[in-house]
Structure 1
Amino acid sequence: MESVALAIDPSILDDHEHDHDRAAEVADAAAADPDPASDAQQLPHVEALWRDPAELVIAENVRKTFDLTEHLDIVESITEFGVDIPIIAERQPDGSLHVTEGQLRTLIALDAKIKKVPVWVRDADPDLPDNERRIRTTLMQMNVNDRRVAMVEADRADGIALMLDLGASVTRVAKGLQRKRSQIKHAATIAASATARGLVDAGAYSLDQLAVIADYETLGDTDAVERLLRVPRSSFSYTANQIAADREETRARMEAAVFCAALGFGILTAEPDTSSLDSTLLPAELLETADAAPVSEELIRAQAHRWLVYLDVEENGQLVDVQTGELVDPDQVDWDTQGRSESQPGEGLRHADSVDYRDRWIPLYFLPADQVAESGLKLRPLAVDEEAGSDRAEALRLDALQAAAERESARLERRRVRELNKRGLAAKERRMEFLTRLLARRTPPAQAGQFVAESLARESDLLGSFHAPKAARDLLGVSGFTDELVSSIQSATASRAWVVVLAMVLGAFESRAGKDSWRYNDRGVQRYLKFLATVGQQLEFELVDVEQAAAGPIDYHDIDLDIDADPGLAGAVTAAAA
């Protein structure tokens, strides 16, 4: 018999197979997702019950990898309030209740010895094949876990603010949400700020940083908000400290200016530039009376309405009683008692801890040029004399220019010292935050051994410096005296003990790294700052301008006082430390 070959178009077979697959998909969909609105669909019988969690059976669950100790916030919430979200269970033909959703809630309730939990129960379909039941349960469990919509932090902040507005205490809200009191306060502050609230879910700022932004926005200080939003996260705390110092100085200056304003003086918020011979404001030292006498403060006060005053600050310019604020003569203090509360001062002297150095506000007086004639004063001969001979007039003009330039140079130098000291203090506060974070680790950074060895080799008495032990204890969070530090060392692991050694060396250097280190050439402090620049690369820490000046790569005269600190040269510092 001759064989016959049948020519069949493959596409016909493909279409047939596709039709079969589509039919199977439709059938599966109908079985898995019946239409609840269909008259033919019988809704399952359900009950809302309260049950002892010990009566529930943990059935097969798609979630198998978990550790209750990693979910302490949920544990604390259920321990405090019980189970709020009902557990879903199926009643089996034998009457047992098998948990299909809420496994973690059930286990936590059992661990917390909660007597009753809410359970949403429906009867298992006895006609449903076991494999189909397991498929449906697994689909439900995965969808429930995957499709949860987490609350955004902005909404959480709003909720916290609402509860506080309704009269709930910070303690109650913190306990109820298993959060620290500081976090609750920050969240309420953030909720009141449109800028901070808009940034909270981006993750670019911590809650502490957002709270700072929110505080300034609430105060209407848009300049502070803009400055904080411009700087990188690694410089945020430094800039925040610097702004706080600026605002504190402004408040102190305004408080000191109240007395001057009460006398009738106009108040200047910035020291004027008087370097030009055509300046509209003349400093008092350029003026004299009709009989060529210097202009006294009494004479100025007598015509206060004509004068303007700027209050300059002399840092630590006066010694005062810490209790009363009264001025104290330094010769009346027994300075050997400083830091020693148990020591008795010498006869007729007072304890050094009873006094403190504070800033002194110095009034600088300026007379508008158009008020000179009416004031009865005149310019000192240092100014140009039109009636003098040409040689004499030129000499006077040059002298006047030089004097004006020297005044301006002195003004700029005062400002530079004042501003860089403020930056130095802000940088020190930020450094302390970083050091505390660095020394909380269980193991020292890889570069620590070489740094410590070299530091001790170069300065054998480094750890004996006056403030070093206390600085180390502060950095490690150890209260009390040396005995407490020794006790913590005795209970530490070998790696942690090396962290303590590092803390003592860092504390020694930090105790001598003052706010004005930018103007000195301390080789030890330079090594210290370069070490911090190196280890800080992975910990969001870079040296700012005053620290770079102290470390050596830049000259403090080159720091621009009118822009925010730039950590851009930190790479140069790190390279120099390598």
Structure 2
Amino acid sequence: MTITDNVHFTHLTDTPEADQPTPEATPATDGVELVTLPALNVSIENNVRTAADLDPAFLASVKQHGVLLPTIGYRDQDGRVVVRDGQMRVLAAIEAGCDVPVFVTARDDNTAKRIAEQLVANERRTALTDGDRLAAYRQLEIEGLSVTAIAKETGTKRDTVKATLAVAKSEAATKAVTDSALTLDDALLFAEFQDDPEAIAELQGCVDEGYADELKFTAERIRQDRQGKADMARIAGEWEAKGVRVVTSEDDYTTLSSLTDANDDAEDRPVLDAEAHATGCAGHAVFLQAWGEHTAVAVCTTPVAHHVKYPRYSFSTAPAAELTEEEVAEQKEAEKAARRELIANNKAWDAADTLRIEFVKSLLQRKTLPKDWTMFAAVAGTRHGWTMRADNSGGVRDLLSIESGSGYGADTVATWVEQHPAKAPHVALAVVLSAFENAANREWWRRPATEGAAYLNQLAAWGHRLTDVEKIAAGIQPEPVDSVEDADTAAE
């Protein structure tokens, strides 16, 4: 026997037909009675759920669709319907001004029984999985519902629906949700790179190795690598069209700024002129700077045809030992490895820059700033006072999204805070953070100093997750890696 075998459908608000007796809702004895009545006519029993705040999305759903799932209750001694399971639905129905369906059962007001049943009913419910939700949203779209219509029908924000559908349409993103239990935001990264198997493999590698929290950083680095490769391919094509060789990190070369045609004992030792070198030396070439501003730098692949601008002088009377061919090869390989590491970390720094600034902006959007922000600002203004001296009003405006208005420079920020006095603490902290961001550069990881370490460690204490290259700048030894990422281009 199923529960529906003994269900009696009684609508207390129905108007009886002419010459028909008015139906009465009587307590069920050995069955279940389904009644529908105005929510205000229902009593809510004491409940183990003490917080009955209505979720806006849930309330919107009830206003849109009514109460879809019947509540469960019983009749008291006076015949009044008392709801045991479903207080949130009743409260939402009261707010929405609609009826509420109730399964009236043969329960009583036994306190121990009530508490046990409410605990079981609330704790044994299984919510939809994200995979279920993806499939459902996709099916609604296939059925012809637009993003706006789905948002309206489900009481979900339009942006959330749009993002969910983007994930649902990507096999890699859907797999990331169903197999790896990633969040919607993380899965969107897989959807973004769904046409790039190498990028998907790299993102999945983060997940498989237990570094899912690095997905945003990895995705940002992939974006910048994509743009960088496109820029580099364009620049390389332009130089090759001119008949100039483009070298990579695997080639041997020396930058023109390190060479001269002057003798070692000459007083004036100018560096090689790029135009003269281009027409007068068979070793003329360019390498493409792979980080920061993508540009071509003139180099020479036959440096022995020139002189070293800064010769190394030795005060030792003993002649320098000649290196064997094997030692020379090892030295060159070490130099190439160091160059690859330099390029990889510079790229990583550029990607970390973007995510760090996003965190700083979100920090300044909080209603309540970190409790120790004033201490940090005071120490920064004294110990790192030199960093604080520069005008960084442009950075402050960017971090706080302040319109430039009619003022100029720092005056714009001052005018804005006068108009928004409650935001004075946020502006004060933004001035400090912007000063550090203005000073932040790749030298922070190449030559770690107290300035960068103080700033990055403070951000970490406030919730920013430091990337490996930021850990180097912060004086934190990052976990060892098996290999350094290969780079296709060279940098000094």
- TM normalised by structure 2 equals 0.65
Which letter does structure 2 place at the counterpart of 1:505? V
Q: What is the match of residue 77 of structure 1?
A: 61
Once residues 59 and 143 of structure 2 are traced to their aligned partners in structure 1, the CA distance between those partners, rounded to angstroms, is 27
Larger radius of gyration: 1
How do residues 101-112 of structure 1 correspond to structure 2 at under 5 angstroms? 101-112=85-96
Q: What is the match of residue 491 of structure 1?
A: 422
SS in 2 for 1:211: helix
Cα deviation, 1:424-473, whole Å, max 9, x if unaligned, reads 11111121233234344454445534332222123446545232x33334
Q: What is the match of residue 453 of structure 2?
A: 526
SS in 1 for 2:218: helix
- TM normalised by structure 1 equals 0.56
- Which residue of 193, 204, 226 maps to 1:216? 193
Q: What is the match of residue 359 of structure 1?
A: 294
Q: What is the match of residue 226 of structure 2?
A: 247
Once residues 145 and 222 of structure 2 are traced to their aligned partners in structure 1, the CA distance between those partners, rounded to angstroms, is 33
Which letter does structure 2 place at the counterpart of 1:104? M
Once residues 186 and 47 of structure 2 are traced to their aligned partners in structure 1, the CA distance between those partners, rounded to angstroms, is 36
Once residues 146 and 327 of structure 2 are traced to their aligned partners in structure 1, the CA distance between those partners, rounded to angstroms, is 65
Once residues 525 and 107 of structure 1 are traced to their aligned partners in structure 2, the CA distance between those partners, rounded to angstroms, is 54
User: Do structure 1's residue 58 and structure 2's residue 21 form an aligned pair?
Assistant: no
Q: What is the match of residue 11 of structure 1?
A: none
User: Do structure 1's residue 45 and structure 2's residue 5 form an aligned pair?
Assistant: no
Cα deviation, 1:277-317, whole Å, max 9, x if unaligned, reads xxxxxxxxxxxxxxx974499xxxxxxxxxxx99723667x
Q: What is the match of residue 334 of structure 1?
A: none
Once residues 96 and 39 of structure 2 are traced to their aligned partners in structure 1, the CA distance between those partners, rounded to angstroms, is 15
Once residues 415 and 52 of structure 2 are traced to their aligned partners in structure 1, the CA distance between those partners, rounded to angstroms, is 35
Cα 1:74–1:216 change in 2 (3 A) is: same
Once residues 364 and 165 of structure 1 are traced to their aligned partners in structure 2, the CA distance between those partners, rounded to angstroms, is 58
Once residues 371 and 126 of structure 2 are traced to their aligned partners in structure 1, the CA distance between those partners, rounded to angstroms, is 42
- Which residue of 378, 381, 387 maps to 1:456? 381
Q: What is the match of residue 169 of structure 1?
A: 146
Any conservation in 2 of the 1:422–1:515 contact (CA below 8 Å)? no
Q: What is the match of residue 163 of structure 2?
A: 186
SS in 1 for 2:6: coil
Once residues 112 and 291 of structure 2 are traced to their aligned partners in structure 1, the CA distance between those partners, rounded to angstroms, is 76
- Which residue of 382, 393, 398 maps to 1:474? 398
How do residues 304-343 of structure 1 correspond to structure 2 at under 5 angstroms? 312-313=288-289
Which letter does structure 1 place at the counterpart of 2:68? D
Which letter does structure 1 place at the counterpart of 2:468? D
SS in 1 for 2:289: strand
Which letter does structure 2 place at the counterpart of 1:191? A
Any conservation in 2 of the 1:463–1:505 contact (CA below 8 Å)? yes
Once residues 46 and 155 of structure 1 are traced to their aligned partners in structure 2, the CA distance between those partners, rounded to angstroms, is 31
SS in 2 for 1:46: strand
Any conservation in 2 of the 1:90–1:97 contact (CA below 8 Å)? yes
Q: What is the match of residue 358 of structure 2?
A: 433
- Which residue of 125, 130, 137 maps to 1:148? 125
Once residues 90 and 161 of structure 1 are traced to their aligned partners in structure 2, the CA distance between those partners, rounded to angstroms, is 40
Any conservation in 2 of the 1:315–1:359 contact (CA below 8 Å)? yes
Once residues 454 and 96 of structure 1 are traced to their aligned partners in structure 2, the CA distance between those partners, rounded to angstroms, is 67
Once residues 470 and 485 of structure 1 are traced to their aligned partners in structure 2, the CA distance between those partners, rounded to angstroms, is 13
Q: What is the match of residue 387 of structure 1?
A: none
Which letter does structure 2 place at the counterpart of 1:430? L
Q: Give aligned-pair identity as a percent.
A: 25
Any conservation in 2 of the 1:55–1:97 contact (CA below 8 Å)? no
Cα 1:224–1:458 change in 2 (3 A) is: same
Q: After the TM superposition, which of the residue ranges 482-491 and 101-110 deviates more from structure 2?
A: 482-491
Cα 1:504–1:80 change in 2 (3 A) is: farther
Which letter does structure 2 place at the counterpart of 1:451? F
How do residues 274-293 of structure 1 correspond to structure 2 at under 5 angstroms? 274=252
Shift in Å at residue 256 of structure 1?
Answer: 4.7
Q: What is the match of residue 469 of structure 2?
A: 546
Shift in Å at residue 509 of structure 1?
Answer: 0.6
Shift in Å at residue 245 of structure 1?
Answer: 1.6
Once residues 223 and 119 of structure 1 are traced to their aligned partners in structure 2, the CA distance between those partners, rounded to angstroms, is 50
Any conservation in 2 of the 1:62–1:142 contact (CA below 8 Å)? no
Cα deviation, 1:76-98, whole Å, max 9, x if unaligned, reads 22233333334556678988655
Once residues 76 and 472 of structure 2 are traced to their aligned partners in structure 1, the CA distance between those partners, rounded to angstroms, is 76
Any conservation in 2 of the 1:50–1:118 contact (CA below 8 Å)? no
SS in 2 for 1:185: helix
Any conservation in 2 of the 1:191–1:197 contact (CA below 8 Å)? yes
Q: After the TM superposition, which of the residue ranges 72-81 and 546-555 deviates more from structure 2?
A: 546-555
Cα 1:435–1:204 change in 2 (3 A) is: farther
How do residues 349-388 of structure 1 correspond to structure 2 at under 5 angstroms? 359-361=294-296
Once residues 108 and 375 of structure 2 are traced to their aligned partners in structure 1, the CA distance between those partners, rounded to angstroms, is 67
Shift in Å at residue 160 of structure 1?
Answer: 1.8
Cα 1:477–1:77 change in 2 (3 A) is: farther
Once residues 531 and 95 of structure 1 are traced to their aligned partners in structure 2, the CA distance between those partners, rounded to angstroms, is 64
- Which residue of 528, 541, 562 maps to 2:484? 562
SS in 2 for 1:45: strand
Cα 1:454–1:202 change in 2 (3 A) is: farther
Give unpaired runs (5+ residues) of structure 1.
1-34, 276-291, 298-308, 317-357, 367-377, 383-396, 565-578
Q: What is the match of residue 306 of structure 1?
A: none
Which letter does structure 2 place at the counterpart of 1:448? W
Q: What is the match of residue 330 of structure 1?
A: none
- Which residue of 78, 101, 116 maps to 1:119? 101
Cα 1:413–1:509 change in 2 (3 A) is: same
Cα 1:420–1:94 change in 2 (3 A) is: closer
Which letter does structure 1 place at the counterpart of 2:206? L
Cα 1:414–1:92 change in 2 (3 A) is: closer
Cα 1:477–1:48 change in 2 (3 A) is: farther
Shift in Å at residue 423 of structure 1?
Answer: 1.3
Once residues 453 and 396 of structure 2 are traced to their aligned partners in structure 1, the CA distance between those partners, rounded to angstroms, is 19
Shift in Å at residue 513 of structure 1?
Answer: 0.8
Any conservation in 1 of the 2:43–2:80 contact (CA below 8 Å)? no
Once residues 48 and 310 of structure 1 are traced to their aligned partners in structure 2, the CA distance between those partners, rounded to angstroms, is 85
SS in 1 for 2:294: strand
